[in-house]
Every structure is written in C-alpha cells, then in structure tokens.
Amino acid sequence: MTRDKNLEIARLQKEVSDYVGMGADSLVFNYEELPNGGVNLFVITLNQRHNQSFLFHQANGSDKVDALNHMLEYMRTYKERTSSYTIQWSARGDNDLETSYFRAKNVMEALDKLFYDRDPNSIIVFSVMLNPIS
C-alpha cells in the first residue's frame, strides 16, 4: 500500500471518528478482506466505563478507502434514517445493570450491535426501549 493511500485512510478514519464524537481511542476500525477482493469495514465503539465494545456500523467497499467512503456516506445521514434505542443489560455473572444506547433501523439491528462479536449467552438483556423522537 502506498504512503498516499495510507494517508487517505488515516484522514478518512479521523473524519469518521469526528462524526461519532467519541475520540479516536474509543473507536476500532476492523477491516475484513473478502474472497472476491472486496473489504468489509466494522466500526466498533469501546466503552471505557464498563470495558465493552459494540458495533457502530458495518460498510463494505472494493478496498479500504472505498469502504471508508461508504461509512462516511452513512455517517452523514444515519440520524435521519435510524431510531435511538436504550438497552439495559448485564454481563452474565455480574450484578451491575448497564445501560447502552444504539442508533438502528429496528430493534433487531440494535440487538445485533449489542451482541456483535460475542457469545450471545454472555449477556442478559433486561429491556430494549425505543427512545422518543427529539
């Protein structure tokens, strides 16, 4: 990969990070090379308070730059196209009730973001609530 392409990837990742508004140390950009030559990009948020990670959004493209550009397209309009959900949950074996917030098209997508990359039996969900439109 060329230096210019790496700089473009860094610039686009910073722009995505700025849209999310959590700070670069609270986001992970996970790229998955596809057999057909494409790339899946998973933007994952890290919550420092309860030390858990959640899927923010997944986009794909022909390469990393293309996937990041698709992610930015999503970022620019997702608040108009998604609803806000509050999920109360606890890690199995832990007595602390946690509250997390997700933007998603529906309840199932919000739960998919909560359970991304983890054993579904590791979390107990107590409630999922669609938040009022503000």
Q: Where are the domains of the chain?
A: 1-81, 82-134
Quote the strand ranges of 52-131, DSSP E: 52-61, 83-91, 98-104, 123-130
Q: How far apart (Å, rounded) are the C-alpha atoms in residues 38 and 21?
A: 28
pLDDT of residue 49 exceeding 80: no
Q: How far apart (Å, rounded) are the C-alpha atoms in residues 51 and 45?
A: 10
Topology, domain 1-81: Double Stranded RNA Binding Domain (3.30.160)
pLDDT of residue 24: 66
Q: What is the mean pLDDT of residues 73-77?
A: 91
Q: How far apart (Å, rounded) are the C-alpha atoms in residues 99 and 126?
A: 10
Q: What is the mean pLDDT of residues 36-46?
A: 93
pLDDT of residue 134: 64
pTM confidence score: 0.86
pLDDT of residue 123 exceeding 80: yes
